[in-house]
A and B are shown apart, each in its own frame.
Chain A
């Protein structure tokens, strides 16, 4: 039988011990969100300082603020140029890529009801890799010039998603079928990419391999507005479905009985998140770890409410990616290790620690 719950009188009315515990939990959720936002701001300042030119953390922030309020601080022109034109765009790119992959991993896991779902496991990244292979080896792309590789990566990432979404929309496929289809697509495009690698010359091979390892060097100020527009439209559309995603983790039957049209939500979320993923991977290459693990980290700390989980997954994704990129660039400078490699090297031990020692061992039911 349930124990008697102690009540505590307050001016606002009687709050039970459990209600107070719940209030504390909600407060802790907001606090955690503030902490990870603060973490990304601090991390930005710290990582800007890493590099051949000595810049202090304070100078880094001054240089950034100076861009928005010119003349407010005295900043050396060289420092300002290095911070604004070289180091900060890469960090912003890392934040956006981590945000996009984290958010998309989170919503994909929810609609597919599978903790293994991520842009990588669904074959979207391998589709993009195949697009890169075609552009690199055959020189065929939907776009030319500097967007030769990016254009193809975007197209094939979207094609891959459309195939999986088409299955859901037309055949009413279950989440299990979609995961299997994603894995099959992953194998297919990986095999096709390998085939191209087999016939590629050294330069083409280097291009394909470096893209496959994941890298943030493609980000520059000219590309960031495009990503911001896509994110500005897509991420609010995903956030609007936060309640429905909470319910869909209980299964389609329960979702329907509570008023959620599970099939429509699944197609909507997959479509929107695919656009985000395609936009990210076409610039960064394959960074497989973030989309899978950032949502799990957030879930272990925040519980299952997607109103908190979606933004937290995105911000945690950004924190991990930016931190990993900072280490990748500086650990054996001047050699820059590909970001995708360092993300897994740093992130996996941290994730294993959380999984084994975390408070919420039972976060996968």
Chain B
């Protein structure tokens, strides 16, 4: 099976505190994979390490079997695009100029008409051509998110990384953004790795889900195998009911479980009140090789 994106033993931290611990996985082409986990679990940090915005302390990242750690920044930008959660700009520019920035890895000082045509194509594809001359700061959150996706798209990479692209959006725009990404994955055979908070969105759109807690991968696989009540309770301390809707699990929160020392000091094993609560995380060695192909 072809592997598009591969991470091997990524570790990252500031000084002595480790934020990512031994992260490894493989993702095939034309896959949409989401990373879920509670706040502070390391989802965004992992996305930034893969794009080398942050430099991992150890480990390697391969795209089409080429090592990202050995590429210069321009070459990385030709292989990986990144959609930030939001883009706080100091000075506003119009939508066209903002999207044209994504052509930077491919152009010199002057942009050609070919580059500009690519921008127009992407703006049309995402249905935002009529916003081309609007200031980026004048747009709504949903429109801004589309512009950021458009900018990543004109980079013409095979892998797109998205950091919580739906977190500031209403439900209509959440679905809109996820539909866009899902279409891109299907029609352009891109691979998308998305850090996401909403488990139901992850369930609905993902081919695979990576579940993280405290910088470690705790579970990974298809949505049905990862989004189980036991896993969610162990990771989030929330009791949930999981219903099956058109094969994708649908999660309904039932009860918040009070956090106590036992839940947070599991040392790789999930125990509560001295008893093993669920089968996760099995052992860490079991989930080192994760294939989401």
Contact = CB atoms under 8 A, between A and B. Distances in A.
Interface of A: 1-3, 5, 16, 18-19, 21-22, 25, 109-110, 113-115, 240, 242-244, 246-247, 249-251, 253-254, 256-261, 299, 303-305, 307, 360, 362-365
Nearest to B133: A21
Given A260-B104, A305-B97, A250 B89 contact: yes
Contacts of B123: 18
A303 B87 contact: no
Most buried by B among A3, A110, A242, A304: A304
A364 B90 contact: yes
B275 to A, nearest CB: 43
Contacts of B137: 362, 365
Contacts of B97: 246, 303-305
A261 B124 CA distance: 30
Nearest to A309: B91
A257 B49 CA distance: 11
Contacts of B34: none
Contacts of B238: none
Interface stretch (B69-77, B208-216, B277-285): B69-77
Nearest to A114: B90
Interface residues of B, number: 46
Contacts of B101: 243, 246-247, 250, 258
Interface in B126-160: 127-133, 135-138, 151, 155
A254 B99 CA distance: 12
A364 B129 contact: no
24 contacts: A1-B127, A18-B133, A19-B132, A110-B91, A246-B101, A247-B101, A249-B90, A249-B91, A250-B89, A251-B88, A251-B89, A253-B53, A254-B87, A256-B53, A257-B53, A257-B82, A258-B155, A259-B73, A261-B73, A299-B91, A304-B93, A304-B97, A362-B135, A365-B89
Given A251-B88, A303-B97, A362-B135, 5 more contacts: A109-B91, A246-B97, A247-B101, A249-B90, A260-B104
A300 B155 CA distance: 28
Contacts of A242: 109
A240 B109 contact: yes
A1 B127 CA distance: 8
Contacts of B120: 16, 19
B51 interface: yes
Interface of B: 48, 51-53, 73-74, 76-78, 80-82, 84, 87-94, 96-98, 101-102, 104-105, 107, 109, 120, 123-124, 127-133, 135-138, 151, 155
B94 A303 contact: yes
B132 A21 contact: yes
Contacts of A259: 73-74, 76-78, 104-105
A16 B129 contact: yes
A356 B105 CA distance: 38
B104 to A, nearest CB: 5
A365 B136 contact: yes
A363 B137 CA distance: 8
The 4 closest A-B pairs by CB, nearest first: A304-B93, A259-B77, A257-B82, A365-B137
A2 B127 contact: yes
A305 B98 CA distance: 9
Given A2-B128, A21-B132, A259-B105, A363 B92 contact: yes
B91 A365 contact: yes
Nearest to B108: A243
Contacts of A114: 90
Contacts of A364: 90-92
Nearest to B92: A365
A243 B100 CA distance: 10
B238 to A, nearest CB: 31
A256 B87 contact: no
Contacts of A109: 90-91
B105 A18 contact: no
A360 B130 contact: no
Contacts of A5: 124, 129-130
A362 B138 contact: yes
Contacts of B78: 259
Contacts of A303: 93-94, 97
A21 B87 CA distance: 25
A303 B97 CA distance: 9
Nearest to B98: A250
Contacts of A362: 92, 135, 137-138
Contact of A18 (B73, B130, B138): B130
Interface centre among A21, A110, A259 (most CB of B within 10 A): A259
Contact of B93 (A2, A18, A19, A305): A305
Given A261-B73, A360-B135, A22 B89 contact: no
A259 B73 CA distance: 5
Given A18-B129, A257-B82, A303-B93, A251 B53 contact: no
Contacts of A244: 104
A257 B81 contact: yes
A258 B77 contact: yes
Given A253-B84, A259-B77, A304 B128 contact: no
Contacts of B132: 18-19, 21-22
B243 to A, nearest CB: 31
